[in-house]
Homo-oligomer: A and B are copies of this chain.
Amino acid sequence: MLLKRWLVGDPLKSAQAVHERLPKTLALAVFSSNAISSVAYATEEILLMLILAGTAAISWSMPISFAILFLIVVLTISYRQIVYEYPEGGGAYIVARTNLGDQPALIAAAALMIDYVLTVAVSVAAGISALTSAVPSLFEHREALGLGATIFIIIINLRGVRESGTFFAVPTYFAIGALGVMVVIGSIHALFGQGGSVPPDDQTAVEELTLFLILRAFAAGCSAVTGMEVISNGVKAFRRPEPQNASTTMIYMSLILAALFMGISFLAAHHGILPKTDETVVSQLARLTFGSGALYYTLQIGTMLLLILAANSAFAGFPQLASILARDRYMPRQMATFGDRLVFSNGIIILGIFACFLLVLFHGDPHALIPLYAVGVFISFTLSQAGMVRRWLTKKGPHWQTKLVVNGIGAVTTGVATIILASTKFTQGAWIVFLLIAILVWMFRSIRSHYKAVSEQVALTRDHRPPLPRRNIVLVPINGVNQAVIRAVDYARSRPGEVRAVMVDVDPQATARIQIQWAQWGCGIQLTVLPCPYRSVLSSLLDYVEDLLNKEPDTWVTVVIPEILPARWWHNILHNQRALMLKASLLFKDRVILTDVPFHLKR
């Protein structure tokens, strides 16, 4: 407990909740690091696809980058409308649920959940790549480094929202600044003809430059826009007026994202940079711009921090989504409970476990994770935009036609992108995502139908009448006379009513001795000795209880079990095995109630 307190801090009162709201500067760091950090790998992923068709094909990188810029613009404009329309937080799940119905909403929720996990895994893996580009000797430890970073983020998040915000703001702004400086200086050099260039390194084509390959490159680049939806999920975390603050933050985020992404793509194309296994494209660019001195290392560290901290936005979003689902009974109830730091601790822990699992499974390699990535995000983008289209058509309201057109363009654009992503990545691993979405949706529905079945079964109807009082026969099974047994008997008679001690006659000598002791210590309670034909104490007791239940069809039977509670947990193997078996056998008898009376051992 002390360790937990030290790691996650003291519990907060409910009344403190409003102070946990984030000002814009902190919110930008918490919510947009995900989207902005993807500039560290998006350009590289495009190049990795194009290079399959040889060095010449990389001239396609700029047209593809412009297509992605168009996506950024469309998403920003259409998501602003969602932020205003859903000030309580309008994730794809909420928007789809209120406008399109259950099934699309659950698909959106499943897709988002999967992508939250992937965001953590991809961001951490890419962050470690930034580190190993600068310090190649760490390359072989990237899996362990990734796990360490993830666990660090989990602990930070269990500490609570605001502290995480502060903690994350400094490195986020630091990295944005460093990348910005690189893009600006690099562009000045490029436009005025200065700066180094990469030695020509012709690679032979392994594929033809087909339309399919270009679409695959576009799909890979779509990882740049992942995370843009995070703000719309978390509107409630902003200071008042929430929608305005969230919307402004979103525009800042998009501007930074667009500028950095286009700048890096432009510089990479200008210098003819090719992706390498052991060094990232951004690292190569930084070496060209800054040389291999302090500035280079500063930028790599900044990029690494930005990426690792980007995983944090998923830690803000995932538990919130899980708790919304839990409120709608699509997830286990405990996901909805606040942890004592006012954050959804359960969700944080589950997200962390799954992300660590992915990091281990894919050996911390970001390129191996990318084919799974972004498909889920684009499914949820499309469902939100389609939901908004439906909303304007039914709700109308001021300027609804304009809004309809905006979200309509959003829906069509993201829909087309989703189809491209799904078809080009399907065999590379996207099928796993579709399978997982199906499984999650089935799970959500099963959980809800179970809760529904339960509430029907426990519901009180008009036909029910308050029950009439019933008798309660209390049994205390004993196998000797000692303090633990006397304590149980003392408890059993603490309320008036019928109490019987029962013992099984395994060994007649012992039975006779216990009967004599009982006369002195038994508090005047009757001791029943049960025969034991099968040498099984358990079955003799069960037979007796069964008889009693049959003879007294309307009473409760309470079995008070004297139990030794050892001072050390592993001493349990030396005690209470019989009590455990008795309890397991009686658990499913309808009118039998079990009560342990623990006797606490000191040593």
Contact = CB atoms under 8 A, between A and B. Distances in A.
Contacts of A599: 458
A469 B555 CA distance: 24
A14 interface: yes
A399 interface: no
Interface string A373-404: 00000000000000000000000000000000
B602 A564 contact: no
A98 interface: no
A3 interface: no
Given A15-B533, A587-B598, 15 more contacts: A11-B536, A12-B534, A13-B534, A14-B535, A447-B574, A454-B575, A455-B482, A458-B484, A460-B482, A466-B520, A467-B523, A494-B555, A494-B556, A496-B496, A593-B595
Contacts of A471: 494
Interface string A522-535: 11000000001111
Nearest to A14: B535
A196 interface: no
A298 interface: no
B13 A533 contact: yes
A357 interface: no
B469 A494 contact: yes
12 contacts: A13-B533, A14-B533, A15-B533, A340-B536, A340-B539, A450-B571, A457-B601, A457-B602, A469-B494, A472-B494, A495-B496, A593-B596
A470 B494 contact: yes
B467 A534 contact: no
Nearest to A332: B574
A491 B564 contact: no
A15 B531 CA distance: 13
A194 interface: no
A148 interface: no
A484 B459 CA distance: 9
A428 interface: no
B333 A577 contact: yes
Interface residues of A, number: 78
A141 interface: no
So how many copies of this chain end up in the complex? 2
A340 B340 CA distance: 49
B459 A491 contact: no
A126 to B, nearest CB: 34
Interface string A566-603: 10000101110110000000011010011111111111
Nearest to A573: B332
A565 interface: yes
Contacts of A597: 593
A483 interface: yes
A338 interface: yes
Which of A13, A453, A459 has its CB near the most chain B CB atoms (within 10 A)? Answer: A453
A288 interface: no
Given A523-B466, A574-B447, A603 B453 contact: yes
A472 B497 contact: no
A290 interface: no
Please name the 3 residue pairs, one residue from A and one from B, whose CB atoms are nearest each other, closest first: A472-B494, A458-B482, A495-B497
Contacts of A467: 486-487, 490, 523
A256 interface: no
Given A496-B496, A597-B593, A574 B450 contact: yes
A88 B558 CA distance: 43
A167 interface: no
A451 interface: yes
Interface in A207-246: none
A493 interface: yes
Nearest to A591: B491
Nearest to A595: B595
Contacts of A155: none
Contacts of A14: 532-535
A334 interface: yes
Contacts of A558: 595
Interface in A278-337: 332-334
A166 to B, nearest CB: 23
B601 A587 contact: no
B472 A460 contact: no
